[in-house]
Amino acid sequence: MSASTIAEEGGNVVGQVVETMKGINEASQKISDIISVIDGIAFQTQHPGPERGGRGSPCRRAGLGLAVVASEVRAGRALG
């Protein structure tokens, strides 16, 4: 095998690695966006407005549950 063939194959491998890293970066951004949405929902349900009156307790529990999910996802731990 010639040096130019080895160099060409090495270049192809590097190109594949670069494409894989781009995919990982895009997936990471999507995960970050999902976590932001979960955090927003958790925050809203933990702090019910005055219009909800006495019905805030179930909302707060749901919000706390979502907050736990968000923190577990952020920490990279699998749930379930």
The pLDDT value recorded for residue 27 is: 93
The pLDDT value recorded for residue 1 is: 87
The pLDDT value recorded for residue 10 is: 94
Q: Compute φ and ψ for 52, nearest 5 degrees.
A: -85, -10
Instruction: Give the dihedral sign, CA 9/13/18/19.
Output: positive
The pLDDT value recorded for residue 21 is: 96
User: Can you give the residue ranges of every domain in the chain?
Assistant: 3-75
The pLDDT value recorded for residue 47 is: 57
Model confidence over 22-36: pLDDT tens digits? 999 999 999 888 888
Residue ranges in the chain modelled with pLDDT below 70: 44-66, 76-80
